[in-house]
A = this chain, B = another copy of it.
Amino acid sequence: MTQNSLKPYNQAYGDSQLAIAELTLLLGEKLVVSPSVRNQHGGGEVTYHQSLAPDAVAFASSTSQVSEIVKICAKYVVPIIAYGAGSSLEGQVSAINGGICVDLSEMNQVIKLNTADLDVIVGPGLTRQELNIYLRDCGLFFPIDPGAEATLAGMAATRASGTNAVRYGTMRDNVINMTVVMPNGDIIKTGGRAKKSAAGYDLARLLIGSEGTLGIITELTLKLYGIPEKILSAVCSFDSIKQACEAVILTIQSGIPVARIELLDEVQVSACNTYSKLSLAVRPTLFVEFHGSENHCAEQVDMFKDIAAEYGSHDFKAAAKTEQRNILWKARHDAYWAGCGLAPGMAHLSTDVCVPISNFADCVTQTKQDIIDNDLIGPIVGHAGDGNFHVLLSFDENSDREYKKITDFLDRLAQRALHFEGTCTGEHGIGIGKAKYMFAEHGLGLNYMFLIKKAIDPNNIMNPGKIFYG
């Protein structure tokens, strides 16, 4: 079997100018065709993929309006690309076939907070930070924290996660219900507000991670959590990646409910020291966070400290004070900028893979060797409890030779993750960047994804060219 068994779509797209004329009647000045706004909407923030501008940007204000927009695009067979904050990393918003970008950032309301049920209904354009600011006063929070100030619908569309996923899961686990506009303009709800259901196919889970290729998310009901009574952090370093990873495995096996357990390799630690003015020992390092009651947090720290010591940890420090904790996690969240600082003036890209944690040490170690062997700049930081890690690569974007060196490395990294029974992406998604790995990862399963795509979006107007290759 080859990629060709996917039987790609054969239709041509219609004239987007016809759609634009009709959309202008609907939206007035909220349909924008100025080159600057279009260009702004064509590419992710931190991506090395080609940024291609849509033919127009529609700033939507309601679910029914998104439905009207989609119906017009469907009528003229014009591509539709949903847009939140533009923070995706694999070219998810690039308008590779032109078409209309539907910007949902103005639909950023908190629609209804249900404190008794620990859920909240929000608009698609609300960002996770905005939601958490809103929630602060009622003692609740939403835990999923990808690096960027992403929108919640964008996070659902890419099945995002982040540092808290080891304890709280990913977007897959934290969306209760969504309202979605389908490719013909139908408005569906994927479920009710019950915490669980066994009533038919799980449309929510199908749409989460579909990257706008099946429909546009226009409302989300999200799970919330009580802000823990106590939050404690700890940091310690190890002589090797292997030892740090062994400590992580035993921590997870022991059932310590760590909220975060992040690995930084020595290159990343050194970069953070410089960027965030820390003085951490330049060794593989774990940043850990514990949530719970005062006593339970203290107990978790003690248990973790013992485990870390078993694997020869150095410089164990627990940070009880909010201020100390914030310094640590600010440094972790600035890891990207710290990594960029290793190669000022160059282009940067962040990639991710995810493997079973028993293979995490080997996969990271081989990847580090690959970086050294090929003379690359690539600090590594990972959500170790999930087996998920990032490499931040810096390169000269004007050099074809460097570009090839980088893409060859990315190919080897994806293959390595699959060799270790993992996935080519744990949280960044496929976009255009990783479509070429989909067959290697899914084999015949990819055909079934494509069958679903064709059944739901027969004219391939929803974010065409993403996830599926060729």
Contacts and interface: CB of A to CB of B under 8 A. Distances in A.
What 7 pairs between A and B have smallest CB-CB spacing? Answer: A205-B205, A455-B455, A116-B358, A197-B423, A188-B445, A226-B255, A194-B354
Given A205-B206, A209-B201, A249-B116, A421 B193 contact: yes
Contact of A194 (B249, B355, B442): B355
Taking each of A200, A388, A455, which has the highest tally of chain B beta carbons within 10 Å of its own beta carbon? A200
A193 B422 contact: yes
B187 A387 contact: no
Contact of A210 (B191, B201, B418): B201
Interface string A190-211: 1111111111111101101110
Contacts of A110: none
A193 to B, nearest CB: 4
When all copies of this chain in the complex are counted, the total is: 2
Interface of A: 114-119, 158-161, 165, 169-170, 172-173, 182, 186-203, 205-206, 208-210, 225-226, 228-229, 249, 252-255, 257, 292-293, 295-296, 299, 303, 354-358, 386-388, 417-418, 421-430, 434, 437-438, 441-449, 451-456, 467
Given A116-B357, A423-B191, A196 B170 contact: yes
B451 A386 contact: no
Contacts of A197: 159, 354, 423, 425-426
Nearest to A434: B199
Contacts of A356: 114, 116-117, 119, 192-195
Given A173-B173, A386-B195, A206 B201 contact: yes
B198 A444 contact: no
Contacts of A423: 191-192, 194, 196-199
Nearest to A252: B118
A425 B205 contact: no
Contacts of A434: 199
Given A117-B356, A199-B441, A455-B455, 9 more contacts: A118-B253, A170-B196, A188-B445, A199-B423, A200-B446, A201-B206, A202-B206, A229-B255, A451-B456
B203 A449 contact: yes
A200 B210 CA distance: 6
Contacts of A198: 158-161, 209, 423, 425-430
Given A194-B423, A358-B117, A455-B451, A445 B203 contact: yes
Nearest to A355: B194
A218 to B, nearest CB: 14
Nearest to A159: B198
B444 A195 contact: no
A355 to B, nearest CB: 6
A199 B118 contact: no
A255 B445 contact: no
Contact of A421 (B165, B194, B226, B254): B194
A249 B226 CA distance: 12
A169 B210 CA distance: 23
Contact of A253 (B115, B192, B229, B442): B115
5 contacts: A187-B444, A191-B423, A203-B448, A205-B205, A451-B456
B430 A199 contact: yes
Contact of A299 (B196, B296, B426, B445): B296
A93 B190 CA distance: 26
A49 to B, nearest CB: 16
Nearest to A188: B445
A433 to B, nearest CB: 11
Contacts of A447: 186
A116 B200 CA distance: 34
A452 B449 contact: no
A354 to B, nearest CB: 4
